[in-house]
Structures are given as C-alpha cells and as structure tokens.
Amino acid sequence: MIAHGSTSPSLQLTHEGRLKHFLTLDGLDRAMLTAILDTADSFIEVGERTIKKVPLLRGRTVVNLFFESSTRTRSTFELAAKRLSADVLNLDINTSATSKGESLSDTLLNLEAMASDMFVVRHSQSGAPHFIAETVTPGVAIINAGDGRHAHPTQAMLDMLTIRQHKGGFEGLKVAVVGDILHSRVARSQIRALNTLGVAEVRVIAPATLLPRDIESLGCKVEYDMSHGMRDLDVVIMLRLQLERMEGALLPSEREFYRLYGLNQEKLSLAKPDCIVMHPGPINRGVEIESEVADGSQSVILNQVTNGIAVRMAVMSMAMSGQVSERVKARPAEVRT
Amino acid sequence: MTALLSIGELLDSLESGLRQRLAERGIERPALIGIRTGGVWLAELLRERLELEEACGELDISFYRDDFSRIGLNPRVQPSHLPFETEGRDVVLVDDVIMSGRTIRAAMNEIFDYGRPASILLATLIDLSARELPIQPDVVGQKLALSGHQRVKLKGPEPLRVELIDTRQQA
C-alpha cells in the first residue's frame, strides 16, 4: 500500500490559496467548496446550450488514468474534459503497460513526455493520487477520481451540488448516508463535505460490521436501526454494497441486508415528505434500494449524473487555472537567475 | 482630454445612435444582450428606452477570455443567461467600455455557441480607442482619450455613474 498521511494543504493549493490539484476535501474550507459549486453552476448552463463546449482548456491534454475500472466516473470525466475543449486520452492501465511489467513511475514519465497537462487518477490503493501529485512535473494538475477506501472528492462535490439545487442550501439539513460505509471512499468524502458546508446533522446508518471503527471522529452520528435513523431526514444517500471488496463474513446475506437497510417506500415515508433520495451508482436494485424508490419522484439519482459533468468541469478548470497562475508567478524569477 | 459627458447625456447619445442604426437596418425587434456587469445594466436601460418587451440576455465571458494561460479562471464566474433563441435574431451587444476589443471577441464567440444570429450590432457607452483587434462599435455614447494614468469605470446600478480614476492619486 502506498503510504498517505494527511495531505499538506500546500500540495493541492497555491500560495494564494487557489486549487492546483484536487486530491481530497481535507483542508479545503467552506469558501473553496462554495466556489467549486458556484463555478459548477455556470457549467450547468453551458450543458444546456446547443454547443455544449467552452474554449477554456483548448490545446491542453487530459489523461484519464484509470488503474481500476469505472464506467460512469470515467465517461463523465471524459465528457467534462471534452466540453472544456481539451484533448483526452483514456488509459485503462489494468489491461495495459503495468501488465507488461512497467512501474507506475515509468508509466507516468512516459505520459509526461507526451506533454500532458492533467492526470485524472483512479487507483485501488489509497494515496496513489497524492503520490503522483508529489512526484509529477510542476505545471501538471492531478485530479483524484477515487483512491482505495480513502476519498472520492468529485463524487462528494456533485452530491453537494445536487443537494444545494434541491434544498437551496445546507443550513439546518439532516442528511444520512446508508449502507456499506466501511468500503466507501464516497462516504468519507461526503461526510467531510457536509460538515464543511455546515449541515445540521450527518448520520450514518449501517450494521456495525460495515462501519469503520473511527467513523464518529469524522463528525457523524451512528444509527444501527434504519427506522429510527430515517426520522426527520432531508436527504438520504444510499451506498452500493461493495460485495467484490468483502472479505470474510460481514453480512449474513444480501436478503437480510435488504430487509434491514434496503430503502423501500415504507422506510422512506419515515423521513420528511420532501426528502430526496441519492445514490452514487451503480445501483443494485433490490439490494440497497427498491426500484420503485430509485425511479420515484423523490429520487434525484439521474440529476447526480448530470451534475457530475459540471462539477468535474469546474474542478478541472480551477486546478488548471491554479497551475497556470503558479507558472506565471514563477516566470520572472527564472528570468532573473 | 475632452470632458466626460454626464451619464444622462451618455445614455441619450447611446439611445439615439442605436435608434438610428436599427432604423437604417430595418430592425424592429432586436435581442439585447449585456456583458456582465456594466453592460447588463446598460442593456436594461436601453430596453426600457426603446420600449422592448423581451427581457435582456446576460453574458458572462469568463469561459471565453483569451488570457486563461496568463491569469487563469475568474473566481467569481456566474452563469450566462439568454432568455431567447439567438438563432436568426438581430442581436444588440451592449458593454460599458470598449478598449482592446478582446472582451467583444470573447462575447461574440460565446454568442455563436448558442446559435447563429442574423446580425450583431455593438453598442458601448464609452470608447477608449486603444484597440488591439479589428473590432469597432456601431454606436458609442462618447469617445474618450485618456492619459496613461487615467482609468474609467461604470459604477451602479443605483445610481448609475461613470467614474474617472486617477491612478497617481491612488498610489
């Protein structure tokens, strides 16, 4: 496993406090998260035009570096980069160089030699994007598209955008994250974002076997009983049961999990009547969520996908912008020497 | 330099110039689009003066600026909002001050991403004639020649006023 402690703020922020990499929500304040959401709002408008493209990253090269497979995240990153007019290279490393024995560092050196401006990284090991950000050539931006159990910051931000659209803001909101918290990098980033943006209460609802031991230190209330946990909720976020990551007997059975923690109309009726239902996808119908609820009037699952493109456009353009401003600042010093 | 006209005089001259241009071209129903922020205030005033019913469009050109590689993204970008189809319309693009012409180039690029207008007229309150691109306004409130230490800025929206700033006094 690649070691990762807490990311020092200087790794993802410039001296002036602008974003230059996007690795984690740790160390980003409310003003920064709000700036990301505001910028994303402007990109939503772009997505509604005849020509859904702006020239911001024209002539720049974005490499989607996916060491772990993904459909939704990769395709929305690809679309986001293309709508910013960047050139996009999609690399599925599972089936590529590393299987021929090339090391991560060598793969990166080769990609840098192709004059890439940004790497969007997904990796099964926590901390991989941090490692890359520490070693990459200055001027190249790194965006975390999900690392191990650590973080998935763009997913959390698209969820925040969806909540803000439907609830107008964050003040006073009660939000629950339900299900497989243990294996979820999404949950960690969501809890961080919700607390930074100042909701009234964050709850996690899960069986004890699917909760990490330190979960309460992230700033959330633990509920083991769903009927109790659903009360007064404004937002319920369902997580996918990550069966492929489960080692050992964490669950008696899928059916038992669904009975206790699956979201159906009956459990949803315990929340506020205007409670919205979210899910990062891909959804397992009948495992975490009933079809009727997933397709129902309170579901905003497909809005989340649309917002994913806008949030990724915002983060990519802000990080590139931060890299540019730092490079410009560095230039006079180079001349002097 | 020539004395700066009052805001009322500037608006009168902009309105009469625009009326004349629209009449020459036989345009009865122009679509007004203001560039944030000053241009939006002016577009709204022109809409009232010309008694047009249709709401004005608002353009934020942050995503289209040609200096991203030098200064990066405007941190306070707001969504553009065009409440009408631009395809086939006669557009009047409104801004407060024209100098290099780069803002107008960016604005025209953005407008074309919404559709292909039949024509675009450019109306600016003040023309500072320091052009870096071959772009000229069709209607101007006043042409000003400033000395190197002077800047001009439209403040508003209530009260709307043009301020001349002397950078020597500020420093």
DSSP sequence for B27-68: -SS-EEEEETTHHHHHHHHHHHHTT--SPPEEE-GGGG-TTH
Domain shared by A182 and A263, yes or no: yes
Which of A42, A55, A328 minimises the CB distance to B77? Answer: A42
Residues ≥6 apart with Cβ < 8 Å to A315: A19, A22, A36, A143, A153, A154, A157
User: What's the pLDDT tens digit per position in B73-93?
Assistant: 888 899 999 999 999 999 999
In a domain, B131, yes or no: yes
Query: Among residues 102-131 of chain B, which lie with CB inside 8 Å of chain A?
Result: 109-110, 112-115
Chain B nearest-CA distance from A20, in A, is 11
In a domain, A62, yes or no: yes
Domain shared by A250 and A189, yes or no: yes
d(CA A59, CA A69): 27
CATH of the domain at A227: 3.40.50.1370
In a domain, B1, yes or no: no
Which chain A residue has the Cα nearest residue B78? A42
User: What's the pLDDT tens digit per position in A80-121?
Assistant: 999 999 999 998 877 555 566 677 788 888 888 888 999 999
Domain shared by A122 and A211, yes or no: no
Domain shared by A106 and A202, yes or no: no
Res B16: pLDDT: 97
Domain shared by A73 and A55, yes or no: yes
In a domain, A2, yes or no: no
In a domain, B85, yes or no: yes
**For the residues B22-31, what does the mean pLDDT come to?**
97
| Cβ pair B70:A324 closer than 8 A | yes
User: Which residue out of B64, B69, B87 would a mutagenesis test of the A interface target, given it has the greatest number of A Cβ atoms within 10 Å?
Assistant: B69
CATH of the domain at B129: 3.40.50.2020
In a domain, B2, yes or no: no
Question: Which structural domain range is residue A123 located in?
Answer: 9-151+306-336
Domain shared by A147 and A68, yes or no: yes
In a domain, A291, yes or no: yes
Which of A35, A51, A324 minimises the CB distance to B72? Answer: A324
In a domain, A230, yes or no: yes
In a domain, B70, yes or no: no
Contacts of A51 in chain B (CB under 8 A): 112-114
**For the residues A68-85, what does the mean pLDDT come to?**
93
First-to-last CA distance in chain A?
41
Which residue stretches of chain A are H helix?
9-12, 30-46, 72-83, 104-113, 128-135, 153-167, 185-197, 226-229, 254-261, 265-268, 291-294, 301-336
d(CA B127, CA B129): 6
| Cβ pair B114:A49 closer than 8 A | yes
Domain shared by A72 and A176, yes or no: no
Domain shared by A95 and A227, yes or no: no
Question: Which structural domain range is residue B35 located in?
Answer: 7-65+77-169
d(CA A195, CA B11): 49
Q: Does B67 touch chain A (CB under 8 A)?
A: no
pTM: 0.90
Which of A42, A53, A324 minimises the CB distance to B69? Answer: A324
Domain shared by A110 and A182, yes or no: no
Number of domains in chain B: 1
Sign of CA dihedral B1, B2, B4, B10: negative
What pLDDT band is residue A247 in, cutting at 50, 70 and 90? low
Q: Does B95 touch chain A (CB under 8 A)?
A: no
The secondary structure element, H or E, covering residue A174 is strand A174-178
Domain shared by A139 and A157, yes or no: no
Which chain A residue has the Cα nearest residue B107? A54
Domain shared by A160 and A293, yes or no: yes
Which residue stretches of chain B are H helix?
7-25, 38-49, 68-71, 102-112, 167-170
Res A110: pLDDT: 86
Going across the sheet that includes B31-35, the strands are B57-59, B31-35, B90-98, B119-127, B139-143
Domain shared by A139 and A191, yes or no: no
Residue A3 has pLDDT above 60, yes or no: no
Number of domains in chain A: 2
Residue A337 has pLDDT above 50, yes or no: no
Residues ≥6 apart with Cβ < 8 Å to A243: A254
User: What's the pLDDT tens digit per position in A271-318?
Assistant: 999 999 999 988 989 889 999 999 999 999 999 999 999 999 999 999
What pLDDT band is residue B146 in, cutting at 50, 70 and 90? confident
| Cβ pair B113:A322 closer than 8 A | no
Contacts of A320 in chain B (CB under 8 A): 72-73
A-B interface: how many C-beta pairs under 8 angstroms? 59
In a domain, B113, yes or no: yes
User: Which residue out of B65, B67, B68, B105 would a mutagenesis test of the A interface target, given it has the greatest number of A Cβ atoms within 10 Å?
Assistant: B68
Select the more confidently predicted residue: A6 or A122.
A122
